[in-house]
Structure 1
């Protein structure tokens, strides 16, 4: 029986981070501590505790606000990435290789672990005062505190409560008693269709990186399908496939509009194209 406080702390931090499946978390911890003893059982119990706790969290957590701020920055031409790379040096190299238009901002996995432990989040960014100011402004618009004195040699600090919800396969674990009922079947991150609640659908939409080709597919029990894909820009395309017409009806959307369309699909089981307006047919 493992009772080492450091191992228990690591388990709590890895699960609280909110990224990676149960199997991935177990593997990472087993490799970190070079032992298989009781790790899986500890992670299983911590997953159960985390999922119970998130039911009582506020509607918009600090993590949700952070993700929303990052999407605003992406759309403004500042490449914004969450839990990106292993460290600052690798993150800078990788984000520049990915392609940067005006600038970048990111936090790496060590930053995430620090935040999950309650130490606040540190952000790396293009060493340009104008970029730093835009990052700070975006965070503040979404209700977060950003500590920065304008010195580009200093990272931006965000004091926050790290509360990141787990959904779908990132919430599955051996001790879970049945799967929670989801409103929609969804494919995201290149994975198979799985059942997600409306909350899970909206969270995963916001978390999807605005990289050309990234897409999500949502299907209601009625059979109606809505799908979104990021195009260069970045711009978000949304459409409703119509097999009878051998075409799709759609247009470019804001994230707010996409969230509204997903909500209509989940609650009413129908297309929101008429509510949206301005759509056009694209033959297959």
Structure 2
């Protein structure tokens, strides 16, 4: 079978399960053949071997069941990085790049900042910040041992120096650790949210998605604890749900943070909120 014929049939099958059926099919076949998707426009009439077709069919069936592309091909692009992904962590998403943009605007990228990423997962945020602020000391924390190992592999893969450690939020940090910037994409979905039974999130770890108190429990905990670990005028920045901006701003203000503001994503949804360390005295 020719490449273009195989892809056409795959597009049609995936239309029922994906809004990006064409791209999904191309990514799966590119993974099987070890090429980029540009190859398909150069060699659409290339005849494929039966073994390649069989391997592609197996992956295609997994995608038809709703399994995310990133888990099937085991990698995902984020910022300027290529990251390994696994079922122990969330899949890095384009919305989270907004968090990176906001964070970078709050620090001098040519200064020796101390940066902490809470709930680092694949290490995406920490590694993106390290790539853009090479003089900074960046630490990533995750409670999941498998995620910490994955993040370390991603650091090596992208040749970036980031310290990844296992901890439940701040538990393994001493208060002598002071950070100019703390960032986090914590669990923020309400346990009763109907979207948990839909799409890619069905396959992602629930512990990385769900938080009590209508999705705000982890955010509230971090807001309360972070001042002890922020340097003077340091910032705490969160990614959160599209409908949580007001609640997160209120939580920041209730704890005395200043310069509190919410930033929107490309879809004009509230996505990232910042706060500066409370002034004591």
TM-score, normalised to structure 1, is 0.25
